[in-house]
């Protein structure tokens, strides 16, 4: 906000107007988050406007009283960005907008140009990674670092933002991406649905299932899982099935390498490479534990959040955002554990963690699952994420003098 254009008195969300600018109201993380925020704002007595290209969520937004503004902003075309800036320069004061929250680099550039002399707060949301698509897009992406408050999806991204853009840490708020905790919920499952999934995988009766979701690719570390499985079987445990659920066609050489490694270890009959799974909630419910053996930082850590929402223990590697999405010692006390975090590429540590998870008795397993579900609802539910972002808006309005 321009300090010389401050307001007359402290404000609350009641009666305030917030404009969110998103690429489009599609069925993606940004679209759903924008709609969830709009609903939370309306429930607080605020006016909620979402600008962007259309999409299937426009009807949902309007159904509960949110407003939609057609505006193409996911671009780095300088002519279109200047046109958007001129439009916003008139639109923001005309609609008495108090906060502009942008979710794309182009929208951030336009909003900064439009509001630099207006009494309005600017909130920016960074993407899940900071890779430069092109030199021009990277220049515009720097605009996302100039918000009065900057929202990062993880501490991992937050630290990268601080290093790259020299953002003061007190301007950054870490709020994770949401997952649909109503769909990824044990309460949404039934025995038949889970049984059908296990039958489709060819799981023997009473066998325990280790599920590893994600594309079969070198950076996702499935070969380490094969090596860890060999160690577990060598220790005398063969009552296991390892299910790899993810795209197995994009990198056929790596997929074949997994098959060869499992065959070489004599455990190929314990592995199921099922390709893309259209029903991940049921897949997670059919699993006993979930393993994410990534060797490089994934774009997002949604798989860990979804697994915990289903009440499943998660074992993951200490890379990127993944450790943030699991409660495990030494970061958390043992009694709060929802999973295990091991060193990337260390088959021995991975095998020991899987063995520990599978060795839990029924009471301990159920208690861990309940904690995992509670943690997911607290951290990743759409309501929790929307409330956290609403808190950012409230703190900015409280600074109005």
pLDDT 10s digits, 9-57: 447 899 999 999 999 999 988 999 999 999 999 999 999 999 999 999 9
Sign for the pseudo-dihedral over CA of 39, 40, 41, 42? positive
* CATH assignment at residue 206: 3.40.50.2000
DSSP-derived 3-state class of residue 114: helix
Tokens of 76: 């780095």
Q: Where are the alpha helices (DSSP H) in 122-234?
A: 135-141, 155-165, 191-201, 222-234
* pLDDT at res. 215: 96
DSSP codes of every residue in 43-72? HTT-EEEEEEE--TTHHHHHHTT-EEEE--
Same domain, yes or no: 164 and 207: no
What's the domain count of the chain? 2
Assess whether 147 and 244 both reside in one domain: no
Residues 65 and 197 in one domain: no
Task: Report the candidate in 118, 79, 72, 76 with the shortest Cα–Cα distance to residue 95.
Answer: 118
Q: Residue 14: give the domain boundaries.
A: 3-178+382-397
71-101, pLDDT tens digit by residue? 998 888 889 999 999 999 999 999 999 999 9
Residues contacting 184, CB < 8 A, separation 6+: 280, 281, 284, 306, 309, 310, 376
Residues 195 and 137 in one domain: no
Question: For the whole model, what pTM was predicted?
Answer: 0.89
Q: Does the pLDDT value for residue 110 go beyond 60? A: yes
Q: Considering only 82-96, 159-173, 264-278, which range has the smallest mean pLDDT? A: 159-173
The verdict on 391 and 349 lying in the same domain is no
139/220 same-domain check: no
CA distance 182 to 73: 31
Predicted local distance difference test score (pLDDT) of residue 2? 57
Q: Which residues contact 135 (CB under 8 A, 6 or more apart)?
A: none
- 373 lies in the same domain as 390: no
**Whole-angstrom Cα distance, residue 376 to residue 398?**
29
Cβ(120)–Cβ(288) below 8 Å: no
The verdict on 37 and 60 lying in the same domain is yes
d(CA 350, CA 328): 14
Same structural domain, 78 and 155: yes
Same domain? For 138 and 259 the reply is no
Higher pLDDT, 12 or 110: 110
Q: What is the pLDDT of residue 8?
A: 47
> Residue 11: what pLDDT?
74
Maximum Cα–Cα distance for the chain, whole Å? 74
Query: Is the pLDDT higher at 255 or at 297?
Result: 255
Asked if residue 58 and residue 104 are part of one domain, the reply reads yes
Say whether both 113 and 209 belong to one domain: no
Q: Facing residues of 329 across strands?
A: none
Mean pLDDT over the full length of the chain: 92
How distant, in Å, are the alpha carbons of 138, 149, 162, 281 from that of 121? 23, 8, 21, 39
């Amino acid at each position: 906000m321009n300090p010389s254009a401050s307001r007359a008195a402290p404000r609350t969300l009641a009666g305030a107007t917030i404009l969110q600018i998103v690429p489009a109201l599609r069925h993606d993380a940004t679209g759903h988050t924008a709609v969830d925020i709009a609903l939370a704002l309306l429930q607080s007595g605020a006016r909620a406007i979402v600008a962007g290209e259309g999409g299937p969520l426009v009807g949902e937004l309007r159904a509960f009283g949110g407003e939609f503004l057609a505006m193409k902003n996911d671009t780095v075309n300088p002519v279109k960005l200047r046109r958007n800036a001129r439009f916003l320069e008139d639109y923001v004061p005309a609609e008495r907008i108090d906060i502009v929250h942008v979710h794309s680099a182009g929208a951030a550039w336009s909003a900064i140009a439009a509001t630099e002399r207006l009494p309005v707060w600017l909130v920016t949301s960074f993407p899940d990674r900071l890779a430069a698509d092109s030199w021009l897009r990277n220049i515009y992406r720097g605009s996302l670092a100039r918000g009065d408050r900057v929202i990062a999806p993880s501490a991992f991204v937050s630290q990268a933002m601080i290093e790259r853009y020299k953002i003061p840490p007190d301007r950054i708020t870490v709020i994770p991406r949401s997952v649909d905790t109503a769909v990824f919920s044990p309460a949404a499952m039934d025995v038949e649905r889970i049984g059908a999934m296990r039958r489709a995988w060819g799981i023997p009766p009473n066998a325990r299932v280790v599920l590893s979701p994600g594309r079969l690719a070198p950076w996702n570390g499935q070969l380490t899982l094969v090596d860890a499985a060999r160690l577990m079987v060598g220790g005398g445990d063969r009552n296991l099935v390892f299910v790899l659920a993810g795209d197995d066609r994009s990198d056929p050489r790596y997929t074949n390498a997994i098959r060869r490694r499992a065959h070489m270890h004599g455990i190929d009959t314990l592995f199921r490479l099922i390709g893309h799974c259209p029903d991940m909630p049921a897949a997670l419910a059919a699993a006993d534990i979930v393993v994410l053996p990534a060797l490089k930082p994934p774009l997002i850590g949604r798989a860990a959040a979804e697994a915990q929402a289903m009440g499943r223990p998660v074992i993951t590697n200490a890379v990127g955002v993944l450790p943030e999405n699991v409660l495990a010692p030494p970061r958390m006390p043992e009694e709060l554990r929802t999973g295990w975090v091991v060193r990337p590429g260390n088959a021995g540590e991975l095998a020991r963690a899987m063995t520990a998870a599978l060795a839990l008795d029924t009471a301990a397993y159920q208690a861990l699952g309940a904690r995992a579900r509670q943690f997911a609802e607290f951290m990743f539910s759409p309501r929790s994420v929307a409330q956290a972002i609403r808190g950012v808006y409230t703190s900015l309005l409280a600074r109005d003098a």
